[in-house]
Amino acid sequence: MKRFLLILAVLAGNAAGKAAEGLLPKNLRLEEFAVSSDAMILEGRHLYNFSGSISIQPDTKQIGFGNCFSPPFVGNPICGTWMLQGHPIPAETYIWYPAATVLKGRTADGLDISGQVVPLSRKRAFAFLLSLENKAGRPIQAILSFELSGQIGFSRDWGWVPPAGRPDTTLSVSDSTLILSAAEAELSAVFRPAPSRFADNRPVFPLEIAPGGSCQITAVFVLGQPNTTRQSACSLLDQIEKEIEQAYQTWSEKVSTLRSRLPVLITDNQALQKFYQRCLLTFLTTRWELEDFILNPWYAESGLDGGAVCNYLWGDAYLSKFFATADPQALRALLLASLKADYSQHYALHPLTGEGIGVGYSYNYYSMALLMHDYIALTGDASILQETIRGRPLLDVFLEYVFEKEDLTQPPVLIDYGTNENLLELRRTQAYQHYTPSPNFERILNYQIMKQIYRWAGKESPIDFSVRTQQLQSVILDTLWDKTDQWFVSLDSNRKPQTCYSIQIFDLLRADLVRGRQAEAIVQRLNENEFLSQWGVHSLSKMDKGYDPTDIDWGGPGVYAGDAPELAADLLSAGFTRKGIDVLQRILWWNAFPYIPQAVRADSRDYRRDGRANVIAALAGAQTVVWGLFGIRMEGDTLSICPVRHPYTAGMGIENLRIRGRVFRIQIDPDGKHYWVQTDGEREHLPIGRTYRFSFPTLCGGLPEPCQGSDERPL
């Protein structure tokens, strides 16, 4: 009777079966983001599907799944495998979609097999849909079973390394439910139709499929606290078709919502358009929605593979402008939470406790300042400056943190920013430590930001930041510029010069610190012999003695995913248009990833395979396309737009640029000689090279109201 019911349920052709074949409407599947197995660059261990509540790894070798993460709960390592006649079913091909992965296999006796892994939205649960179709022309009888093994657990450690489950995890069966159990955690699995029996904790499904017939089995897995998951799994199984459709619908809505908040790119360049959209999608893979987190939503540095679910200010800063536009409320909450934490001694924010974790990181000072500035500049919400942090005015806490290593009562001097663990974590060179050009240079940017922040707060600045800017600029140029080598050096702990050809030096092109021949000398090193290769830009020059083939993101062979786009933006802003566009074009192939990983190689079409699967800084790529190519800046309360002059941008445009409640559209003429800007029905047509400006009501004391004129330098 059970065998008959199994066949009957399958032939009914329910919605779950259709979903298993990937037959949901295209607008829900988001097929523009689909990546097939023959085009996949990521290793199977880095491939995940994500719902915002749980991340699940499809098994790309055999029909089944791997690790899952839903903080504070974890399944790692874990393996769920469908077996036919006691053997795993090989996955011959697969297609990854944002909401699910569809696996395909075929047996020698003529069974076509399809499996689909679907993380469910707003739940610590996922579904697996298995479909078998008889293509043999004769009846097929077989024994299907499912094997579950591995470790689950409850973890309070969500730093850089993915947490592991408990080795004392046990597997049992209770009322047709398969249960993995550990202290403080369990994973329950229920099936439709129910197994005919269990053999050694394996659910068994006898099959008899007529020629041309098919059958389907649906399984639901719930991860959570002990003695709570079985009931949830049964409830979800009762309405699984609706849950699966909702999972797809939620992903579609997330993409639509993000696109409605960020600029729409208008271009015939398909590689650029696909790159832009893939950057947007990657940002969504870092957005968690769990009540256990101190903030909801929570944006992780990475997180899909369970590593770096924490938040790095440094990573957020790469996308500061798009973050402020994409989710301003979340960024506001993150800034407040970061100021409440003791970031001076740590590099990241813990998602469950709000405490700092790791060692101090020297780039977080500028990251905090930039994120605060761009949040206020783009949203117009200066009221954040009226908040209190641990009972003290936010502005006081903010000033102390950003300049905690600096004595503001004395003229500026170079600061020792620590060793490799506080900077770039280089392994084969000690040359970029202590008194480094960056982040010493970022202090100049912090001066400019702080001056504007005090104006927005309606308060008098306690320091003459303009004078301090000039003083520190002189110190850096006089002390760290090597006239012979035409490059910036670092000073070691004994203040002896050390040369490191790091991509960080190009950051000094920002804010006109380096001009003229000095800037040209630096940029000349962006050549095939030093920093460039076919597939991108190297983080360390190929000529540097510390070049490390094993250190992809900072040691040479590639870059942290936010750094190549940021370099392109800096070059464009500094007037090196051809170089900036060249760098951007070299990384457009990143659109081939399902989501952009932590670090990408430049010496080959590959990525850092011992790093994290995804990274929030990937959104910097889309930000560079808009703010870099179209020359957009916020200077105090004034928006300026000046598209770069280059044939590459001819005919390009952007719509839906949202700043302080205004919506702007920019369009470059097909001949590339003129452009126009439109807002609220008013259009201004200008030649390329002439700047468009729009003045917003001046922010003062947290409200848009008249203030005194500003002599602020543009950032």
Collapse the DSSP code of 73 into the 3-class scheme (helix H, G, I; strand E, B; otherwise coil) and give the result: strand
Position 20 scores a pLDDT of 43
Q: What is the pLDDT of residues 504-523, one digit of tens each?
A: 999 999 877 888 999 999 99
Burial of 194 (0-12, 13-18, 19+ CB in 10 A): middle
d(CA 660, CA 683): 18
In the predicted structure, residue 359 carries a pLDDT above the cut 50: yes
561 within 8 A of 567, measured Cβ to Cβ: no
Mean pLDDT of 76-91: 96
CA dist., res. 187 & res. 225, Å (int): 9
Which pLDDT score, from 0 to 100, does residue 13 have? Answer: 35
| Tens digit of each residue's pLDDT (9 = 90 or more) over 272-328 | 999 999 999 999 999 999 999 999 999 999 999 999 999 999 999 999 999 999 999
- Looking at residue 195, the DSSP 8-state letter turns out to be P
* Per-residue CA distances from 673 to 649, 657, 667 (Å): 10, 22, 11
- pLDDT for 170-223, tens place per residue? 999 999 999 999 999 999 999 999 999 999 999 999 999 999 999 999 999 999
Q: Which two tokens stand for residue 310?
A: 């924490």
Mean local confidence (pLDDT), 240-265: 97
| pLDDT > 70 fraction of the chain, expressed in percent and rounded | 94
pLDDT recorded at residue 52: 97
Angle at the Cα of 363 from the Cα atoms of 350 and 361, rounded to 5 degrees = 50
The rounded distance, in Å, linking the Cα atoms of 422 and 513 is 24
- pLDDT band for position 17 (cuts 50, 70, 90): very low
pLDDT of residue 493: 95
State residue 702's pLDDT score.
Answer: 57
Q: Which of 463, 564, 464 is nearest to 506 (CA)?
A: 564
Summarised one tens digit per residue, pLDDT across range 30-78 is 999 999 999 999 999 999 999 999 999 999 999 999 999 999 999 999 9
Residue 700 pLDDT level (bands cut at 50, 70, 90): confident
What pLDDT is attached to residue 715? 38
Q: List, for residues 153-177, the tens digit of each pLDDT value.
A: 999 999 999 999 999 999 999 999 9
- Residue that has been written with the tokens 């639509």 in this structure: 256
Contact 364, 339 (CB under 8 A): no
| pLDDT(598) > 70 | yes
Tell me the domain boundaries of the chain: 2-162+192-220, 267-664
Is residue 701 pLDDT above 80, yes or no? Answer: no
Using the predicted structure, report yes or no on whether residue 501 has a pLDDT greater than 70.
Answer: yes
The pLDDT of residue 513 is 80
Contact 710, 453 (CB under 8 A): no
**What pLDDT score does 58 carry?**
98
CA gap 617, 163 in Å, rounded: 22
CA 72 – CA 172 distance, rounded (Å): 23
Q: Give the separation between CA 530 and CA 556, rounded to whole angstroms.
A: 10
Percentage, residues of the chain above pLDDT 90: 89
More confident residue, 709 or 505: 505
- Going through 225-321 in order, the beta strands assigned E by DSSP cover 264-266, 287-288, 298-299
Q: What is the pTM of this model?
A: 0.94
- Fold classification of 267-664 is Glycosyltransferase (1.50.10)
The CA-to-CA distance between both ends of the chain, in Å, stands at: 74
Q: Confidence band (pLDDT; 50, 70, 90) for 10?
A: very low
- pLDDT value of residue 91: 96
pLDDT, tens only, 604-615: 999 999 999 999
- Secondary structure, 3-state, 479-543: HHEECCCCEECEECCCCCEECCCEHHHHHHHHHHCCCHHHHHHHHCCCCCCCCEECCEECCECCC
* pLDDT score for 343: 85
Q: Assess whether pLDDT exceeds 60 at residue 15.
A: no
Mean of per-residue pLDDT scores for the chain: 93
Summarised one tens digit per residue, pLDDT across range 138-157 is 999 999 999 999 999 999 99
pLDDT at residue 121 tops 50: yes
Quick one: pLDDT at residue 514?
87
User: Over 90: is that where the pLDDT of 632 sits?
Assistant: yes
What does residue 125 show for φ and ψ, rounded to 5 degrees? -150, 155
Task: Kindly indicate the confidence band of residue 261, based on its pLDDT and cuts at 50, 70 and 90.
Answer: very high
DSSP 671: T
The pLDDT assigned to 360 comes to 86
pLDDT interval class at 3 (50, 70, 90)? very low
Candidates 513, 630, 639, 650; CA nearest to 580 is 630
Q: Is the pLDDT of residue 88 over 60?
A: yes
The HSE-up count of residue 406 (CA atoms within 13 Å, CB side) is: 25
In the three-class reduction of DSSP (H, G, I as helix; E, B as strand; rest coil), residue 202 is classed as strand
Give the separation between CA 58 and CA 102, rounded to whole angstroms: 9
CA dihedral 353, 299, 102, 229 (to 10 degrees): 30
DSSP 550-582: T-TTTSSSEEETTHHHHHHHHHHHTT-HHHHHH
Per-residue model confidence (pLDDT) at position 703: 58
Q: What is the pLDDT of residues 427-455, one digit of tens each?
A: 999 999 999 999 999 999 999 999 999 99
pLDDT of residue 203: 97
Residue 16: pLDDT above 80? no
Residue-wise pLDDT for 531-559, tens only, equals 999 999 999 999 999 999 999 999 999 99
Q: What is the reported pLDDT for 59?
A: 97
